[in-house]
């Protein structure tokens, strides 16, 4: 057999084995911003971007730790960097078996002594970047609460890694000093806030309106425990972050902003269901559509209200509700499907609502734009 073919077959067999192993599903509930959801696509992504070895010898470990919620798809460059160092120095490590390492952080700790020298930076430029890109919202002897506005400020203040000896160094993908920085991706979908807590080894913390709340080591923080320990910080963030909206301050401030309203419904803080239900019944069309967005975590009670009221809600809204990921057996599609409305008849005729269709709620909006091209809509509805 050709010497070049055998290694390629070995890699393909390893990847195929993992795809078969996770064919029934791979956990990605912890990875809200992950670009892939299908098991095979996730395996391919991890093998390509997180395993630095040509024969993909670490992909099984990577997939296992991802399945356990140890890191996200966006952390692939960080995983690759840690494994590249592990692979180069494992003969000098007390533990050489990658499977004995419980997660990414334990590998990073093991290879830390072999790390590269810190990158020299322009201190004056860093100060300028921080001054321009960081807005202090609250400050006292123990706490600093900030709005982090720019990637440059994030890199300057929080970059370098948690083990670099820097007081505020973190492992956040939004602060990494490389081309893989994810700040812009997060900033497009919501604000980023940081919290400094004096004499706290897990500080600084980062909060994003998607609901992510991470310590300096990029580990998830309990909102409930943090709020109980630091209630004044929660009060500062309440009007700005839906995660801390225990008293409805964020909702009252942003309920007329569709983007912010979707973020609120995605987080569903305490007391949100009643507020959203009332707004669905009495709000504008834009507000209702924002609440019914397929990324929100609304309850069947809200969805049922929309589906069962054809006089108040239009066909598109009721389809969004009945096909929402949080709809269950209590929410019936029949009230929409049995109606002789043009949108449903047209989609049914094209097979877009058939068994082979993978139409998502957002596709209903897409249909309105390209309904003049039936073949194109049918193709879109069957694409994974």
CA distance 75 to 157: 20
Do residues 130 and 236 both lie within one domain?
Answer: yes
CA distance 345 to 351: 10
Under 8 Å between Cβ of 343 and 315: yes
Range of the domain at 144: 123-241
Domain edge (last residue) among 333, 351, 368: 333
The number of beta carbons lying within 10 Å of the beta carbon of residue 133 is 20
Domain edge (last residue) among 193, 222, 241: 241
Do residues 94 and 24 both lie within one domain?
Answer: yes
Q: In this structure, what token pair is assigned to residue 166?
A: 């820097």
Annotate 152-192 with DSSP letters as a single string: HHHHHHH-S-TTSS-TT----TTT-SSTT--HHHHHHHS-E
Do residues 384 and 326 both lie within one domain?
Answer: no
Q: Which residues contact 282 (CB under 8 A, 6 or more apart)?
A: none
Do residues 183 and 151 both lie within one domain?
Answer: yes
| Predicted model pTM | 0.66
Do residues 131 and 233 both lie within one domain?
Answer: yes
Q: What is the pLDDT of residue 271?
A: 83
Q: What is the pLDDT of residue 380?
A: 44
Q: What is the pLDDT of residue 9?
A: 60
Under 8 Å between Cβ of 148 and 132: no
Q: What is the pLDDT of residue 115?
A: 66
CA distance 152 to 121: 12
pLDDT digits (tens, 9 = 90+) for 135-177: 999 999 999 999 999 999 999 999 888 876 678 899 999 998 8
Token match 């960080």: residue?
A: 78
Do residues 174 and 152 both lie within one domain?
Answer: yes
Do residues 110 and 203 both lie within one domain?
Answer: no
Mean pLDDT by 10 residues, the chain (384 residues): 52 87 90 85 93 92 93 89 90 92 89 63 78 93 95 91 79 87 88 94 92 91 90 90 87 91 86 90 92 85 88 88 72 44 47 42 43 46 38
Q: What is the pLDDT of residue 363?
A: 44
Among 80, 83, 75, 72, smallest CA distance to 107 is for: 83
Do residues 49 and 141 both lie within one domain?
Answer: no
Do residues 146 and 221 both lie within one domain?
Answer: yes
Element (H, E) at 92: none
Domain edge (last residue) among 184, 208, 241: 241
Q: At what angle do helices 76-89 and 39-49 cross, to 10 degrees?
A: 50
Q: What is the pLDDT of residue 127?
A: 84
Specify the number of domains making up the chain. 4
E-strand stretches of the chain: 134-139, 143-148, 192-197, 205-208, 213-214
What is the 8-class DSSP label of residue 23?
Answer: T
């Amino acid at each position: 057999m050709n010497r070049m073919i055998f290694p390629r077959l070995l890699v393909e067999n390893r990847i195929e084995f993992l795809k078969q192993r996770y064919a029934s599903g791979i956990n990605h509930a912890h990875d809200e911003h992950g670009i892939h959801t299908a098991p095979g696509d996730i395996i391919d992504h991890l093998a390509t971007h997180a395993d630095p070895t040509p024969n993909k010898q670490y992909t099984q470990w990577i997939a296992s730790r991802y399945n356990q919620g140890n890191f996200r798809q966006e952390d692939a460059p960080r995983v690759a960097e840690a494994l590249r160092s592990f692979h180069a120095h494992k003969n000098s490590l007390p533990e050489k078996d990658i499977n004995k390492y419980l997660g990414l952080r334990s590998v990073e700790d093991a290879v830390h002594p072999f790390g590269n020298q810190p990158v020299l930076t322009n201190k004056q430029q860093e100060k300028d970047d921080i001054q321009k890109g960081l807005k202090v919202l609250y400050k006292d002897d123990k706490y600093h609460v900030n709005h982090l506005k720019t990637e440059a400020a994030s890199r300057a203040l929080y970059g370098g890694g948690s083990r670099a000896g820097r007081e505020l160094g973190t492992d956040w993908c939004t602060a990494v000093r490389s081309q893989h920085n994810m700040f812009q991706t997060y900033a497009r979908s919501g604000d980023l806030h940081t919290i400094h807590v004096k004499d706290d080894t897990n500080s600084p913390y980062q909060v994003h309106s998607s609901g992510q709340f991470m310590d300096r080591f990029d580990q998830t923080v309990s909102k409930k425990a943090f709020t109980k320990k630091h209630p004044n910080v929660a009060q500062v963030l309440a009007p700005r972050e839906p995660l801390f909206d225990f008293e409805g301050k964020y909702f009252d401030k942003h309920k007329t902003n569709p983007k912010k309203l979707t973020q609120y419904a995605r987080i569903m803080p305490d007391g949100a269901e009643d507020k959203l239900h009332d707004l669905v019944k009495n709000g504008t069309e834009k507000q209702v559509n924002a609440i019914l967005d397929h990324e929100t975590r609304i309850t069947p009670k809200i969805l049922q209200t929309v589906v069962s009221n054809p006089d108040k809600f239009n066909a598109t809204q009721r389809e969004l509700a009945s096909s929402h990921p949080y709809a269950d057996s209590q929410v019936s599609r029949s009230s929409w499907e049995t109606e002789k409305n043009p949108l449903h008849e047209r989609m049914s005729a094209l097979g877009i609502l058939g068994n082979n269709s993978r139409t998502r709620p957002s596709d209903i909006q897409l249909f309105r734009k390209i309904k003049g091209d039936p073949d194109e809509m049918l193709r879109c509805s069957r694409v994974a």
